[in-house]
Structure formats: C-alpha cells, structure tokens
Copies of this chain bind each other. A is one copy, B any other.
Amino acid sequence: MKFLEEQIIKHGKIISKDIVKVDSFLNHQLDPYILDTISDSFVKKFSHLEPTKILTIEASGIAIAMLMGVKMGIPVIFAKKKKPSTMTESFYYSEVFSYTKKEKNGIVVSKEFLNNDDKVLIVDDFLAMGAASFGLIDIVKQSQGEVVGIGIAVEKGFQQGGKILREKGYNLHSLAIIEKIEDERIYFRDN
C-alpha cells in the first residue's frame, strides 16, 4: 500500500537498522486519517471471507480493529496481556515471547467470546518475529474456530514472522513490508 509506505517515510523515525518508530501516527499518537485509510484497506481485502470476529491484542491493535469492526458490523476482541493465573479455566491462554523485553508474557481471551463457529480475522499494527500472531492463532485453535485472515499494517520483512506465517499457509496481508533499513533510508518490498 503506497499510501502507508509514504506515511512511514514521512513520519517514521529511523532508530537503527532494525527499528523505525511510528509513534506519531500508529502506536502512541493515532492519526485519524491514516488509521481510517488502513482500516478501509483491510475491510476491502477481507470482507468477502465473512469473518464473524476480529481478534487483536492490546494496546495499539485496538484502534485499527475497532474502526474495522464498525465498518464490518462485527465484534472486536482484544487479548489481554496478563501473567499466568489460576483463572485459566474460563480463559484461553497462550504465551507470547517478547524479543525486545526478552521475556514470556501470557495473553488471555475469555472463552465466552470465541467458539468453534467463529471465522476470525486477526489484526495488528506490527509484525516482526510473529510472536503476537502465533499467540493469537493458538488461542483461535483452542476455541476450535478458524483463522480466515491476518491483517498487519507494518511488517518487518527482514524478520521471520511473515515468512513463517505464509509458509504455513495463512492468508496474511501486510500493507507495508519493510525490506531493509540502510543508510538512513527505508526500503519496501513490492507487494
């Protein structure tokens, strides 16, 4: 999506050869026009699959997911980040490894809100190693629902998450795929 690539170039801050900060529009301040356009693009891409639920993870994913939920008329569920607890009987529970924090974190979704009839669209702002996506997929599997698609705003193409998800056959759609960051420039993959 040319539009999102342009926003990343315009507003993103290159921190290192692995990191572009997009705090000013995607994950701290949220730009209404950019996020609305992102959500439109996902709605267009995934509506024909007739998802029954959108699943994301707190916090940044919620903004895009909610705009989509209203446009598609389906509920949004956000997985909560939570330490393992004894309340697991009423929750689907999975573990997500944070590569930045070098620690495992539990994520939970109440069993009430996902079941085997659900066609689930997973949405998130970022995809790098794919840890959050794998955790959300695991939760959908536990519910015996079906993952019909995965919508990602910004994929770091130089990390492995996207590659693995595509190899496993998931219907992954990333709006902007960063191929590499070099000499203060961001290179995108044609997609």
Contacts of A78 in B (CB 8 A): 28, 30, 59
> Looking at chain A, what size class is its interface with the partner chain?
20 to 34
**Closest chain B CB from A139 CB (angstroms):** 13
**Closest chain B CB from A87 CB (angstroms):** 13
- Tell me, in angstroms, the Cα distance from A69 to B112 when the chains sit together: 30
Count identical subunits in the complex: 2
Q: Is the CB of A66 within 8 A of B33?
A: no
Q: Is the CB of A32 within 8 A of B112?
A: no
A31-74: CB near B (< 8 Å → 1, else 0) gives 11101100000000000000000000011101101110110111
Q: Is the CB of A70 within 8 A of B32?
A: yes
Q: Is the CB of B75 within 8 A of A66?
A: no
Interface membership of A137, Cβ < 8 A: no
Identify the closest chain B residue to A28 (Cβ): B110
29 contacts between A and B (CB under 8 A): A23-B112, A24-B113, A28-B80, A28-B109, A28-B110, A28-B113, A29-B77, A29-B110, A29-B112, A30-B62, A30-B66, A30-B75, A30-B76, A31-B75, A32-B69, A32-B70, A32-B72, A32-B73, A32-B74, A32-B76, A35-B70, A36-B70, A59-B59, A59-B62, A59-B78, A62-B62, A62-B63, A63-B63, A66-B67
